Structure 1
Amino acid sequence: MEFQSCVKIINEWDIVAARQLGRNVAKELGFGTVDQARITTAISELARNIYLYAGQGSVSIEKLNKNGKSGLKIIAEDQGPGIEDIRRVMEDGYTTSGGLGAGLPGAKRLMDDFDIESIPGEGTTIIATKWLR
């Protein structure tokens, strides 16, 4: 079942749209309310980072079905400035926006799998997956 849906992130309302899409897909797959909240929070962080640092990009949601396990994959992509030091941005409390610094480390903790690829000057792709328990 390769369903995929994408929200272009251009303004703050798109962050809300991406969250809503994620919640709907999570609900459809049978995730409980706690995991739905985790997924929407992670989407929120990823979409907000695109909006704040890259200006625009996209958040895609995919339904996964692997070895009898169901899950949800979030793909956040942008062609922004990229991340110079991925290890540093993954440290708790690190912030460049003056926010709480929960950002990427927080999003990683909320998901089961989390992978960042970033090329300075070219952009960033983050893939985060949550499996149905």
Structure 2
Amino acid sequence: MDIQSCVEVRNEWDIVSARQLGRNMAKELGFGNVDQARITTAISELARNIYLYAGKGKICIEPIDQLGKKGLRIIAIDNGPGIREIRKVMQDGYTTSGGLGAGLPGVKRLMDEFSIESTVDVGTEISATKWLR
């Protein structure tokens, strides 16, 4: 299982599909129920952001093995409007959709590693990794 699996995100059902794929892969790798929930919540947030702000994109999930350390990497990619102020969207409580504002700061807290690259009018790529304990 060393290849990444991707789910195209165009509608709300695709968010469900991405969550399910992530949960299944996490379970297969041996993550416990709590970490499976963290991973699926992170996927849900990332996929929902693609759906709400970019219209379409994809969530890719890949098992990783670095020096015997196993984990799961989630990559959210879109060609949407990009994020003008990354610092602002990474503040707790910041929301443009009227949601709870847990969004990206929540994803960062749920996962062990988090990175975001965004170019206005080009798109955004977010990578989040959870390591198996």
Instruction: Give TM-score, length-normalised by structure 1.
Output: 0.99
Whether 1:47 and 2:50 are equivalent positions in the alignment is no
**Displacement after TM superposition at 1:3 (Å):** 2.0
Q: Equivalents in 2 of 1:132, 1:3: separation in Å? A: 18
Percent of aligned pairs with the same residue?
Answer: 74
**Displacement after TM superposition at 1:122 (Å):** 0.3
**Displacement after TM superposition at 1:16 (Å):** 0.2
SS in 2 for 1:97: coil
Partner residue in 1 for 2:65: 65
Aligned length: 133
Q: Equivalents in 2 of 1:81, 1:13: separation in Å? A: 22
Whether 1:99 and 2:99 are equivalent positions in the alignment is yes
Partner residue in 1 for 2:29: 29
Alignment of 1:72-87 (within 5 A): 72-87=72-87
Partner residue in 2 for 1:5: 5
Instruction: Give TM-score, length-normalised by structure 2.
Output: 0.99
Q: Equivalents in 2 of 1:37, 1:20: separation in Å? A: 11
Partner residue in 1 for 2:118: 118
**Displacement after TM superposition at 1:124 (Å):** 0.1
Please identify runs of 4+ aligned residues in structure 1 that moved more than 2 A: none
The alignment yields a C-alpha RMSD, in angstroms, of: 0.6
**Displacement after TM superposition at 1:39 (Å):** 0.1
Segments of 5+ residues of structure 1 without an aligned counterpart are: none
Question: Per-residue displacement from partner, 1:51-81 (whole Å, max 9, x unpaired)?
Answer: 0000000000000011111000000000000
SS in 2 for 1:88: helix
Q: Equivalents in 2 of 1:131, 1:40: separation in Å? A: 14
Segments of 5+ residues of structure 2 without an aligned counterpart are: none
**Displacement after TM superposition at 1:2 (Å):** 2.3
